[in-house]
Structure 1
């Protein structure tokens, strides 16, 4: 089911951005921000339990790479559909002109809040990923010969951002390690996340990003982790899903605000929660 979700998410992004699914490369570069769903090796060198550079990870990919899957991630699928010759490299492994095709900054266990995922060890939070992107931009300026050339180049690239799941699973709904659920109501917590999210998105905008695909939080109350904690190992945790929906609704509103404030940019909301729910409700559509 997860593979279907990934493919539908990819197609939805392409359609939302007005791109056709063809072999020719559609955009000059693709930049990726996120967590374990799209991490392709950035955590390999970190002191962390959130690593996937060992078997059985990668068994359908020729071996473990740091991807938290048996094979390709959503970002890999999208890179293929966008016509890239190869996958977008991890930030910790890319050098030189290779950055001109884009960089993957995602880090497993990362969240919008700085402390999210700390019980798992080192990880690169959203703000840290943005700082790494800013370092990349300085290199792009040098490679292309100036800020004007770099800005013209970067405005044609796609930026996908998918964070927030860990802020719930590895923060808000983990009261043994975090106090956030005692400090904030679900509404207040979502407001805090959106405020931090907005700050980082504006930082990306200020460093040349113009085409954004913002992926909402999926139905993580139905994740294997959440199901394992239920009484029958099959019932979704509605507390988590309800909190996710609050965040997603606020993210939709943020997208509208950003589009109004930045008319030269395009922000698109990707309804991952709705896609997942549609698969559960109408499984025959995905056979």
Structure 2
């Protein structure tokens, strides 16, 4: 049987399981007490709004299908982590770190630290995009502030705070920008002159491993770590680089994602073996087969030219039916495609989507 057909059947089963579970969640408690989110624009829900950066989307048509309108989410409605939050059974979305600082919202259910254009490396995005919150800052600075606040809120009962933090899920979705906003733009960064693609990826994996271990040292025990999607198949990538050898996508970018994922998977197994009482799983956001030709055919839902050229133009009129499009803007998926990714991460039974287990099983461990 064709591999795409097999995967399509698995996806259909996954969606059915998700729908069945949703019916029983009306009054249920979430599967984990708290959910902490680290990453880039696929997960960002407003942390970039007050930054001096090209990577912010606090304006229409972003949020066109979201009840609160433009919030800083890089899509027309809910983003990847919003759907994950729903699937895990939370009644409310996880607040952004910037919102928590301003409003003092309840942090016991978790915090979203993700930042558009952020990378594993601190320099990623700095010289071509502007301000952003790198993964190191998300973990070492911002998350530690929240841990301190949680501990204070629990009457400085450190054992109780650690017990709570042990039960949370820590989602890490990052890495694309280290290629598209660093390695492959030599005008701003010299990494492609200093490293081969494989050596650069080794650097990313080592740095990511170090950052994960900081979370572990701060009581994190359940980790969901995302691989990279085919970053050479975005409308923006195709526009910037052109297609390769008859392929509808940019092969060098996709090859970078493949190398990253191939090196990330062994890291997950290594961490599972070496870090006591910790559970790690690798989630593949590109687990759903998308015909690259459809990307070229359908284009983006909104008219692009904002940000560094890949974002929606401020106040522009989007397409009438985002469901017919894979991409909302030049880089980010529509809400419907975000939901497909989330369903795969949560309930897929194939190692193509989740390895060694899906997000639901991670929550149950």
**Shorter-chain-normalised TM-score: which range?**
0.7 to 0.9
> Cα offset for 1:280?
3.0
Q: Are residue 26 (structure 1) and residue 50 (structure 2) matched?
A: no
Match among 152, 155, 169 for residue 158 of structure 1: 169
Residues 230 and 236 of structure 1 are in contact (CA less than 8 Å); yes or no, is this contact kept in structure 2? Answer: no
TM-score (normalizing by structure 1) = 0.88
> Cα offset for 1:206?
0.7
Specify the alignment match of 2:152 in structure 1.
142
Specify the alignment match of 1:90 in structure 2.
96
Which deviates more, 200-209 or 231-240? Answer: 231-240
Match among 222, 226, 231 for residue 233 of structure 2: 222
> Cα offset for 1:272?
2.1
> Cα offset for 1:247?
1.0
1:120-145 CA distance string (max 9 Å, x none): 11000000100201110011111123
Report SS of the residue matched to 1:100. coil
Give the distance between the partners of 2:263 and 2:204, measured in 1 at CA.
Answer: 10
Q: Are residue 259 (structure 1) and residue 259 (structure 2) matched?
A: no
Report SS of the residue matched to 1:213. strand
Match among 140, 155, 169 for residue 180 of structure 2: 169
Instruction: State how many pairs are aligned.
Output: 267
Match among 112, 116, 124 for residue 124 of structure 2: 116
Which deviates more, 87-96 or 247-256? Answer: 87-96
Specify the alignment match of 1:72 in structure 2.
78
Residues 232 and 252 of structure 2 are in contact (CA less than 8 Å); yes or no, is this contact kept in structure 1? Answer: yes
> Cα offset for 1:26?
1.1
Residues 160 and 213 of structure 1 are in contact (CA less than 8 Å); yes or no, is this contact kept in structure 2? Answer: yes
Q: Which runs of 4+ in 1 moved over 2 A?
A: 229-234, 278-281
Match among 97, 112, 127 for residue 104 of structure 1: 112
Report SS of the residue matched to 1:264. coil
> Cα offset for 1:97?
6.2
**Which has the greater radius of gyration?**
2
Q: Are residue 236 (structure 1) and residue 245 (structure 2) matched?
A: no
TM-score (normalizing by structure 2) = 0.69
Unpaired runs of 5+ residues, structure 2, are 1-10, 295-339, 341-365
1:130-162 CA distance string (max 9 Å, x none): 020111001111112321001100111111101
Q: CA RMSD in A?
A: 2.2
Give the distance between the partners of 1:144 and 1:223, measured in 2 at CA.
Answer: 45
Match among 39, 43, 52 for residue 47 of structure 1: 52
Specify the alignment match of 2:65 in structure 1.
60
Report SS of the residue matched to 1:229. helix
Between structures 1 and 2, the one with greater helix share: 1
